[in-house]
Amino acid sequence: MISYKHAIVDGTKIFYREAGNNQAPVIVLLHGFPTSSHMFRNLIPALARRYHVVAPDLPGFGFSDAPDRKQFRYTFAHLAEVIGKFTEVIGLERFAIYIFDYGAPVGLRLALAHPDRITVIISQNGNAYEEGLSEGWNPIQKYWKEPTAENRAALREFLTPAATRWQYLYGVEDETRVAPESYTLDSALLGRPENDEIQLDLFLDYASNVALYPKFQEYFRTQRPPLLAVWGTKDPFFLPPGAEAFRRDNPDAEVRFFDTGHFALETHAGEIGEAIGEFLERRLRPKVSAA
């Protein structure tokens, strides 16, 4: 059974889904843009049979608070700080991370700050290499280089219901397998007052993630965390070379490709769940005794 809870972190309410035995190894699921922990609705029950699963909504997303931009810094560094404190508030000490899209720079920042707390990394279209960036990033990269009002306004098209629906359906062979409530819910939550400005702030700050790619790669080389990349090959934003690149820095990394798009769990939750379960059985590090 999945429980729907919230925790307070520095005055901000963080909504999260939780399932599984709280004595079992922990997996923290980190969603991306423009979605929420709702994207894990089909994966959580499969993982919760053997693991303690926690899936928070990032601030500004899903059912978590979206604090005013004047009082809350919408940067990836701050999101990582909040999620790090969230894991402490709910009592998590060591955990695996499933990182997708925006969840990748958030989770990898946690890994840089606390490498001893991360047991396993599962990256589902969660990029850490420049070769993984497609041409779909060009308008956003233009905004990084020239953060003008005109370039900011040009990105509003990414926030429309049509663009959200397209992200879910692009590269999907059978569109009837994508539940319409997925992109409809995302669009409704994106449409909250001032949320468009929050998302545009994060588009601008995404450049800080690319700047950290060398640090993330150094972490893979030196820490060698057990790492599984499960990747939709037809992702319009994060290309398969981004998945293959993990093995350059971490030769033991495992890569699995699936014939689908960005939101691979919409069509391949069963297959991805099986791949994760098999990987964790072999690679999940046991908890280290304090003695």
What are the DSSP calls for 16-68, one per residue? EEEES-TTSPEEEEE--TT--GGGGTTTHHHHTTTSEEEEEPPTTSTTS----
Which sign, positive or negative, has the C-alpha torsion 78, 73, 6, 160?
negative
Q: Catalytic amino acids?
A: 262
Tell me how many degrees the CA angle 154-79-287 measures, rounded to the nearest 5.
Answer: 140
**Contact, 128 vs 103, CB < 8 A?**
no
Residue 215 has, within 13 A of its CA and on its CB side, a CA count of 13
Token couple for 69: 């931009």
Q: Which helix (H) or strand (E) holds 5?
A: strand 3-9
Q: d(Cα 281, Cα 155) in Å, to the nearest integer?
A: 42
Largest CA distance in the chain: 58
